Each structure stands twice: as C-alpha cells, then as structure tokens.
Amino acid sequence: MSDTTTVAESNTESLIRMDRMPHIWCSGCGIGPTVTCFIRGIYRAGLDPDKVSLVSGIGCTGRVAGYVKLDSFHTTHGRALPFATGLKLGNPELNVVVFSGDGDLVAIGGNHLIHSARRNIDMTIICVNNFNYGMTGGQTGPTTPLGARTATTRYGSFEHPFNVPDLVAACGATYVARWTVLHARQLENSIAEALTKPGFSFIEVISPCPTLYGRMNKESKGLDTLHTYQERSVIRNGADTKDVSITADSSIVVGKFVDIERPTFSDCYSQMAERAQGAKK
Amino acid sequence: MKLWRIPFDQEEKATKPGRILIDKDRCKGCDFCVEFCPKGALVMSKEIGPKGYYLAEVADDTVCLSCGLCEILCPEFGIQITPSDNNDR
Amino acid sequence: MSENGSLCGTFFMNGDEACAEGAISAGCRFFAGYPITPATEVAETMAERLPHIGGVYIQMEDEIASMNAVLGASWAGMKAMTATSGPGFSLMMENLGLGVMLETPCVLVNVQRAGPSTGLPTLVAQGDMMQARWGSHGSYELIALVPSSPQEIFDLTIRAFNLSERYRVPVLIMSDEAIGHMSEKVVIPNVPPEQLVSRPRPKAQQGQYQPYRADGDLVPPMALAGEGYRFHVTGLTHDERGYPDMTAEAHDKLIRRLADKIRLNRKDIEECEEVGIEDAEVVICAYGITARIARLVTQQARDQGIRAGMLRLITVWPFPEDRIRELAQQVKAFVVPEINNGQIALEVERCAAGKARTILLPHMGGSVHPPETILQSIKEAVQ
C-alpha cells in the first residue's frame, strides 16, 4: 500500500481508527500528541504502515493499540514486550512497536523490559511516562518522583523511583531518548530514527496526567504541566544516563542519550543457526 | 519579507499560508494549541462545545504559517491545517 | 530427516523428547520456554532441533513471558508451543486467558509434577487437571489432551496443533513426570502435509475484514500481522470488528461463542479409549500414567471373574460427559484413580448423577497407585 500513499493520505488521521473517536483520554492528556508524533514518525521514516505492528499492554497508554490503524494488539498488563518478541521473531519483516505506559512497562513488565533490552530484540518502545497509574485512579508507580502525592502516597512518595533511560541503557538498549510531549518535533524525529534503527530502541515520553497526577501535585491542567516542561526541561543530547533522574522539581533532562551499534537477537540467532547447521553437515 | 537574493531552497523552505480547521466535536479545551501557536493564530472562545469545554477557535487565519504545531499538540487529533491561497501577509 | 524436518524412523526416546518431535512433525517452528523440571527435555530438544530447520527457540525470562511470546509468534503466522510444569503452568494462566480471548492457536505442554507450590519437582502427579480447566479467570472452554505413553504424546502433540489451528484455541497437553521421563519405542512417521491442519484464513478484502466475525462454524478466519488487514485485537470484551465493547450484551455474545465453538464440536474433539466396556459392571476411569496401571488392573480383575472395564480419557477437556452418562446407566460404579486428591472424579460424579457410584482413589503424588489398591476398590464396588 505504501507505494500508493499520497501526501494527502499521510496525515495523522490516515492511521487513526476514526470510527473509534472520540478516544477515552482526558482533556490535556499527553498520549494523543505522542500518538500523532508516532504516526508522523512512521511517515517520516518512510515505512509501509502495513508492515508496522503495534503492541500495547494495559492502562491509558495501552489503549493506543485500539486507536491506530495498524495491525495492533492490546495484550495483558505488562506483557506487551514478550508478545512483541514473539511477533518479531515469528516474522522478522515486521517493524514491531511497543507503545505503553510507565506502570505497564517498568513495574509489572519490568522483568520483560530488562530482558528484552539485554537480548536486543529489534523493536521500538515508546514509553509514555506520566509518573502514576492513570487508568486505575492515580496510584503511585515505579517512576513517581520522591515527595510527589498520588492516590496511594497521600503524604508524599517515599520510594526511590527508577531512572528509566539509565535502566534500559544499562541493560543494553542501543537507542535511548527522552522527550517531553512539548518537544513534539524532536520526539517525531526520534521516533523516526528509532523505527529505522536495528535493535532495542527506547523512547521515554514525559507526559502530563492532569486529572490525577497533575491534580495531586498542583498542576491541575495539562497546560500547567506543559509550562513546567518549558521551565524545567534541558536538552542534553549524549548526556550520561546516570545524570538524568527526575525529581519533583529538578530539571528534566531530555535528548538522545544512547545511539550505539550492537548485534540484535536475530543477528546472533542466525549466526548460531549457521554454526549449528555447519556442525551437523 | 524583502530578500536581496532568492535562496536556492526558497521553494522548499518557505512558509506557506495555512487554513486551520478545528473539529468542535472533538475539542476538549485543553488550551495547548492556543498557548503554543508561535503566531498567536488561535484563542479560547467563550463558546462551550458539545463536550462541555470552552472551545479553541481561530482568531486570525492570515498569520498561520502551516507549521503544524497545533496539529501535533492537539490531544484529540482535532486540528487540521490545509494549504490556503491567502497571500495577504 | 524428512523434508519437513521431522526425524523419520523408530527411536527409543522419552516422553518429553517425543513431545518435541511431535511438535516439529506438526510444523511447529517457534518455541518459547523457561527451564523447569520435569519439562526441560522438551525445551532442550527444541533448542537443539529448531535452528536446523529454520525455527526459533527462545528462552524467556519466565513462564509469563514464554506464554506471551508464543501468542505473539502465532499472530506472526507460526505454529508455536511452550512447555512447563506446575509452578510455570500457574504463571501461564494469565495469558492462557489472553490466548482464549484473542483466539490464538498454540500448544501448551504441562509435564505435571506434585504440588502445590514447589512440591515434588522431580516426581509424578496429576494435580493440575482442574487448573487446566479453570486456571485462568472468567468463563471459557479450551481443549486438553492427556497422553499415556511417549508414542502417544508424539501423536497427541500433532493432534493438539491440528485442534488448536482448527478451533483457534490454546490446546493443553497434560503430560506428567512419569510419561515425560519414561523412555519407550517411538515410531515417527513421515506426516504428510494433508494430515496437518492450518487455521482458517480470511477471504474478505482488506478493509472489509472483521477479525471476530465468525460465520457458520463459529471459528473466525485469522489474518496475520503484516498482511495489510490492519486489524485490532484486544483482551477486552470485543465486537466482531475486534473493537472493545463494554456492554453485557457484547460480553454475552462473545463468551457464548467462545464456549460454543468447542462445545458444539465435542464429537470431533473428544477421544476416549475403551477396554472391556461392553459387559462391564465396574469401569475404571483413568488417564495419563494412571491408565497404564488401570489397564493392568482391568485384566487382573477379569482374570478373577469380575466384569471390569476401563475408560481411558484422552481428551479430558471438554469432558466426555455424554459417554459417562451412557455408561452410568450400565455400570454399578466408576472407580477413578488419579494422582491428586480428587479432581476428574468430581466430573465423573457430576455426569454419573447418582445413576452409578463414583469411587475416588486419590493418591497424593510422588509415585503411582499400587495396582492392589485399584483392584481392591473394584472388588468393593461390585459387592
């Protein structure tokens, strides 16, 4: 189908299931803009949408699978990565994207996250991080900054959060970037880059959750949160991921942090299979 | 703008006038497009839309440069920029 | 090795290896698993064999991931399998449910060991029979087959793939440690392609295709990722388009169809072996390793002049209710030996519905029933 795609068809709506609009996301939510950047990223990268498969877990961001007009799989909580692993290894021609939230990918799916990165499965992960569990009512999660209030940390979060880019970089991800929703241009570029880069590409998207996390932390409108991004974010491409932790009021370091080459799981598997076949003959 | 010479990539890089279409049925009044339009082409209206939110509306089409930022930032996929033949700028 | 990658010939191999070979003969080219006794030999065989025949073996980080990778591979068009034992089976339950909901063909092997919890990792049991039926949340139907020998696990693995492709449902093979680790003669034939079933495929045009529109036989055609259908599937209750539909009506329609596609095809799915049933007044209802002892005891009882028979369950889920109901009219009692504290006996009792006695012979696991206990029970039943 890609060869017939005209400029008019390459707008955002062409890859949205318009029969499912309006979506369920709140006013001022950052997931919608992230989806737009993703769709624009697909076109920017020149991919055939027929060959792009999207896998989501559960949660607000998990609903992305239901709204994009791609082969899309809405799986169980935290399990998007292993499902996507099977999909990619089952058909290496597919460009597999995992689009899910921080709770889904980093908490319940944390084990899958580190191992998918370690194996360097060739796929792109878009992790929308809104610092809490939105779908279930704004509970604390693995990325909630210290001191932040949520439905289950009324007196301020006291658990140390993950620095997600550092986590996946340490596990061997070959491409790691972080942008806020407000960095729409950079995010679109990053997604296009990640989609065409072999290996485990991870993009963290810092996103407002005005209804829950925002309301509990004096940013009751999405716009308030975007203003804090304007004030607090600093672009530092190539920053050491150790230095990009997010606290409740620190600067938010964004940029492309990691872009390295490393053989993917499939590369290594093919080499092993050749060795095996050689040994038998 | 008056140029002393015409750049080679003028065709490609020049901003183009645009028309902004806002889908009132989808707008949830988040204010993103209004706040971040670099040309201030949009405003929040006093009109309440079908979802009960104040709607974003076009204040001045003629300043639009088709940069598309409002399109991207709209969480509702509710804004579309189409080329305009308005060359009044 | 034959063209399709299967070893052809006669071999001395254990049940786990025979299971892996059955999968390869059935066309399985994707295996995701996690090491667990006593199922490791299935994974080890697949890890050795698949790289030679263009297949993929991946060792996942846990059984949750294994089950998901199998589902993903199936949607990419692969015939996919995983193998585990009790603790891993528990972890797989979450996404077994997803497999049922997405109607994903795949095969899950459980080489049962004694539980609960870590239990007896290296010793036999049949304690997961009810978990196989009800382990994931919600109401659903699936298919579970129980082998009694290495040869049979080879044959049943092929049948499991065929059933899973035919009905678009995960199929369980409920093996056990004794069958898995028992080495016997296994004949591997060259399975011709016409004996292998493939999932129904869409005929609708791109854009017209609805992933859960099932005409006629209740099994919808399955598109694969990357074919241009741009379909959506979800573990949420969904309509024929695959879109979430959060209404009681949609749920009713979906769950009934998922059940009916199995229930209404019981005749095709159910399989039992009957030994000396015609004139039997007492029937041993057994499955798996226990059926091998039951077969011996049936003969011993006959030698002593007792009209005993054996009904060996090969399909346990769906449960062969009609056959038990029929036999309940004829026999005095069912003796149900199983290596658990009473699971399939409950089903037998339900179907016998008071027409015949059901005598449970529980055995907690770690070993098989001594034949004498079953014989003793038969004698008591006919008195």
pLDDT at C283: 98
pLDDT at B87: 58
**Per-residue pLDDT averaged across A202-230, rounded?**
97
Q: Smallest CA–CA separation between B4 and chain A, in Å?
A: 31
Please tell me the distance from the alpha carbon of residue C271 to that of residue C167, in angstroms, as a whole number. Answer: 16
Asked if residue C217 has pLDDT above 90, the reply is no
> Whose CA is closest to C110, among C123, C137, C97, C92?
C92
Please tell me the distance from the alpha carbon of residue C261 to that of residue C160, in angstroms, as a whole number. Answer: 16
Radius of gyration of chain C (CA): 21
Inter-chain CB proximity A188 and B71 less than 8 Å: no
Contacts of C212 in chain A (CB under 8 A): none
Minimum Cα–Cα distance from A208: chain B residue: B75
Residue B83 CA: distances (Å) to CA of A8, B14, B61: 11, 13, 11
pLDDT at A101: 97
**pLDDT band, very low/low/confident/very high, at A8 (cuts 50, 70, 90):** very low
Closest CB from B35, B71, B76 relative to A223: B35
Predicted confidence (pLDDT) per residue in C222-271, tens digit: 999 999 999 999 999 999 999 999 999 999 999 999 999 999 999 999 99
Residue spans of beta strands (DSSP E) within chain C: 9-14, 30-33, 56-59, 80-84, 106-114, 120-124, 143-145, 170-176, 183-188, 232-234, 272-275, 282-286, 308-313, 315-317, 333-338, 357-362
**Per-residue pLDDT averaged across C168-176, rounded?**
98
- Give backbone dihedrals phi and psi of C34, rounded to 5 degrees, phi first: -140, 135
- Give backbone dihedrals phi and psi of A129, rounded to 5 degrees, phi first: -105, 110
Asked if residue A2 has pLDDT above 80, the reply is no
Instruction: Count the neighbouring beta carbons within 10 Å of the beta carbon of residue A4.
Output: 6
Location of structure tokens 């346990």: C316
* Orientation angle between helical segments C63-75 and C86-102, nearest 10 degrees: 30
Residue type, B35: E
Please tell me the distance from the alpha carbon of residue C210 to that of residue C221, in angstroms, as a whole number. Answer: 9
CB A84 within 8 A of CB A55: yes
Contacts of A16 in chain C (CB under 8 A): none
pLDDT at A248: 87
Q: Is B26 left (phi over 0), alpha (psi -120 to 50) or beta?
A: alpha
Please tell me the distance from the alpha carbon of residue C217 to that of residue C182, in angstroms, as a whole number. Answer: 39
pLDDT at C128: 98
Closest CB from A22, A35, A40 relative to B26: A22
pLDDT at A249: 84
Inter-chain CB proximity A27 and B73 less than 8 Å: no
Please tell me the distance from the alpha carbon of residue A57 to that of residue B54, in angstroms, as a whole number. Answer: 33
Most B CBs within 10 Å, among A20, A27, A128, to test the B interface: A27
Contacts of B72 in chain A (CB under 8 A): 33, 36-37, 40, 184-185, 188
**Per-residue pLDDT averaged across A238-253, rounded?**
95
pTM over 0.90: yes
Contacts of C56 in chain A (CB under 8 A): 89-90, 269
Residue C182 CA: distances (Å) to CA of C20, C85, C172: 14, 16, 20
CB C133 within 8 A of CB C377: no
pLDDT at A5: 35
pLDDT at C206: 83
| Average pLDDT value over all residues in chain C | 97
Structure tokens at A85: 């692993």
**pLDDT band, very low/low/confident/very high, at A280 (cuts 50, 70, 90):** low
Please tell me the distance from the alpha carbon of residue A163 to that of residue A165, in angstroms, as a whole number. Answer: 6
Contacts of B35 in chain A (CB under 8 A): 223, 226
Structure tokens at A122: 């060739």
Please tell me the distance from the alpha carbon of residue C212 to that of residue B76, in angstroms, as a whole number. Answer: 28
pLDDT at A279: 76
pLDDT at A10: 58
Please tell me the distance from the alpha carbon of residue C341 to that of residue C339, in angstroms, as a whole number. Answer: 7
- Given CA atoms C156, C159, C160, C161 in this order, what sign does their dihedral have? positive
Higher pLDDT, A79 or B16: A79
- Alpha-helical runs (H) found in chain A: 31-44, 64-67, 80-90, 102, 110-119, 164-171, 184-196, 215-216, 222-232, 265-280
Segment holding A180, helix H or strand E: strand A175-180
> Whose CA is closest to A235, among A169, A175, A190?
A190
Please tell me the distance from the alpha carbon of residue A158 to that of residue C381, in angstroms, as a whole number. Answer: 65
Chain A with chain C: Cβ pairs closer than 8 A: 153
- Give backbone dihedrals phi and psi of C335, rounded to 5 degrees, phi first: -105, 125
Inter-chain CB proximity A269 and C66 less than 8 Å: no
Which residues does residue A54 pair with via DSSP β-bridges, in sequence order? A72, A97
| Angle, CA C65 vertex, CA C61 and CA C219 arms, to 5° | 160
Asked if residue A9 has pLDDT above 60, the reply is no
| Average pLDDT value over all residues in chain A | 95
pLDDT at B54: 95
Please tell me the distance from the alpha carbon of residue A152 to that of residue A255, in angstroms, as a whole number. Answer: 31
pLDDT at A168: 98
Structure tokens at C106: 């795949």
Specify the pairing of strand A200-206 against strand A123-129: parallel
CB A201 within 8 A of CB A98: no
Asked if residue C277 has pLDDT above 80, the reply is yes
pLDDT at A4: 35
- Given CA atoms C92, C93, C95, C100 in this order, what sign does their dihedral have? positive
pLDDT at A1: 33
- Give backbone dihedrals phi and psi of C349, rounded to 5 degrees, phi first: -65, -40
**Per-residue pLDDT averaged across C72-76, rounded?**
98
**Per-residue pLDDT averaged across A239-244, rounded?**
98
Please tell me the distance from the alpha carbon of residue A273 to that of residue A269, in angstroms, as a whole number. Answer: 6
Closest CB from C54, C70, C235 relative to A86: C70
pLDDT at A91: 98
- Give backbone dihedrals phi and psi of C37, rounded to 5 degrees, phi first: -75, 140
Instruction: Give percent above pLDDT 90 in chain C.
Output: 96
**pLDDT band, very low/low/confident/very high, at B61 (cuts 50, 70, 90):** confident
**Per-residue pLDDT averaged across C149-157, rounded?**
98
Residue A40 CA: distances (Å) to CA of A7, A122, A185, A186, B82: 12, 20, 10, 12, 16
**Per-residue pLDDT averaged across C74-90, rounded?**
98
pLDDT at C139: 97
Task: Give the end-to-end CA distance of chain A in Å, rounded to a whole number.
Answer: 42
Inter-chain CB proximity A74 and C243 less than 8 Å: no
Residues 6+ apart with CB under 8 A from C231: A71, A72, C209, C211, C223, C242
> Chains with 3 or more CB pairs closer than 8 angstroms to B?
A
**Per-residue pLDDT averaged across C186-205, rounded?**
95
Asked if residue A281 has pLDDT above 60, the reply is no
Burial of C159 (0-12, 13-18, 19+ CB in 10 A): buried
Predicted confidence (pLDDT) per residue in C313-346, tens digit: 999 999 999 999 999 999 999 999 999 999 999 9
